[in-house]
Amino acid sequence: MSKTGKLKIFLGYAAGVGKTYQMLQEGQDLKRRGIDVVIGYFEPHGRKDTIAKTEGLEMVPRKRVEYRGSFFEEMDTDAIIARHPAVAVVDEFPHTNVPGLAREKRWEDVQAILQAGTDVLTTMNVQHLESLNDQMAHMTGVKVRETIPDWVVKQADEVVMVDLTPRALLNRLERGVVYPPDKAQRALQNFFKESTLVALREMALRQTAHEVEDRIEQVEISKVDGAVAAATRKRQLDNAIIIYVSDDPSTAMLIRRGKRVADMLHGNCHAVVISERGDLKVLPPAEREAVERHLDFARKLHIETAILKGADHAEALVQYAREHNARQIFLPRIIGKGVERLRGKSLVNQVVSLAYDMEVTIVADRRTERALNR
């Protein structure tokens, strides 16, 4: 059985910074060293310099797929696996496939190629990280639909940031290097504002630095003795994050933020639902569907989920948090109604009162959060 391939991600903060160009340059360098390299998928976007970098590299033909009367071209994952090269170059890691293919996302196709023993070089922008989705929407005004779970990126063997100053990127855009003139003008008026690009670049730099620090720490842990490793595992338990899951629309945002904090602290993350009977059958159909959707989303992010039994949600939540040595509890901003609100009996108030030795983080209405430290 072949060993699992290695994944290298070329990370940027916007289209046109040179991710694909750099990836293809590495592919050419590998070929010159006698390594078997193929292009599994390449999106030219009409960029002549980038297209020139494909010269001499074998391209695996795309798969033609019919969907709702139209034809689309997707990466032929099975053909790449059958070809079994040493390295496959795969552009646009976060891409969503046309419905009907074996896998929904291109990152899932890449995982299949890696499992077959082929190394993969790929590209993505920082705004496609799932945990940054809400932050990106607030910053840019654009909701990113194609996202990649953070754990997928963390499993990469190498993440390289392809950097270009915002001013240099804007110059490229104005010269027509990134997009045709009409599309470039629309981009300049929307996503490609200099202030937005500066903020995105800073975020990409921070993300890359975090990835580097995390990898260094993991290497150091692998070299230490059992006692130190045990202490590290204890720290992960002590930094546990508990996320309260409900049908509230803000729950998805809550899950993303809780998971990101847990990753930053190298702690465990739990998403919990509380039901009087300990299952979801008692909930009305619409509410149950929303809760199940949120739990499924949490599982896709590799978050441990649980359905707790309890009539008092605050008490059950805090008890579970204590049992798991939680450092923080994440709650949606659910306000009590009528007499309950006047008496300060809302879920938030009750949890804050009971979790006097923890941090309770609440998602506000305007997609901001405030922490109540007790």
Residue with tokens 């300060």: 344
Whether 212 has a pLDDT exceeding 90, the answer reads no
* Plot region of 269 (φ>0 → left; ψ -120 to 50 → alpha; else → beta): beta
3-state secondary structure the chain: CCCCCCEEEEEECCCCCCHHHHHHHHHHHHHHCCCCEEEEECCCCCCHHHHHCCCCCEECCCEEEEECCEEEEECCHHHHHHHCCCEEEECCCCCECCCCCCCCEHHHHHHHHHHCCCEEEEEEEHHHEHHHHHHHHHHHCCCCCCCECHHHHHCCCEEEECCCCHHHHHHHHHCCCCCCHHHHHHHHHCCCCHHHHHHHHHHHHHHHHHHHHHHHHHHHHHHCCHHHHHHHHHHHHHCEEEEECCCCCCHHHHHHHHHHHHHHHCCCEEEEEEECCCCCCCCCHHHHHHHHHHHHHHHHCCCEEEEEECCCHHHHHHHHHHHCCEEEEEEECCCCCHHHHHCCCCHHHHHHHHCCCCEEEEECCCCCEEEEEC
Q: What does the pLDDT look like over 325-355, one tens digit per residue?
A: 998 999 987 644 443 443 446 888 999 999 9
Give the pLDDT score at 227. 53
**Separation between Cα atoms, residue 352 and residue 257, nearest integer Å:** 19
What residues pair up with 243 in beta bridges, in sequence order? 271, 330
**Separation between Cα atoms, residue 151 and residue 186, nearest integer Å:** 34
Closest CA to 247 of 215, 288, 218: 288
What residues pair up with 161 in beta bridges, in sequence order? 11
The residues, any chain, with a CB within 8 Å of residue 212's CB and separated by 6 or more, are 159
Q: What does the pLDDT look like over 45-82, one tens digit per residue?
A: 888 899 999 999 999 999 999 998 899 999 999 999 99
Quick one: tokens of 359?
């941090």
Give the pLDDT score at 203. 87
Q: 7-216 belongs to which homologous superfamily?
A: P-loop containing nucleotide triphosphate hydrolases (3.40.50.300)
70-74 and 240-244 strand pairing: unpaired
For CATH 3.40.50.620, the residue range(s) in the chain are: 229-373
Q: What does the pLDDT look like over 67-121, one tens digit per residue?
A: 988 999 999 999 999 999 999 999 999 999 999 899 999 999 999 999 999 999 9
Q: How many CB atoms lie within 10 A of CB 362?
A: 20
**Separation between Cα atoms, residue 369 and residue 329, nearest integer Å:** 13
% of the chain at pLDDT higher than 90: 59
CATH 3.40.50.150 fits 229-373, yes or no: no
**pTM of the complete model:** 0.78
Give the pLDDT score at 141. 79
For CATH 3.40.50.300, the residue range(s) in the chain are: 7-216
Of 369 and 265, the structure prediction assigns the larger pLDDT to 265
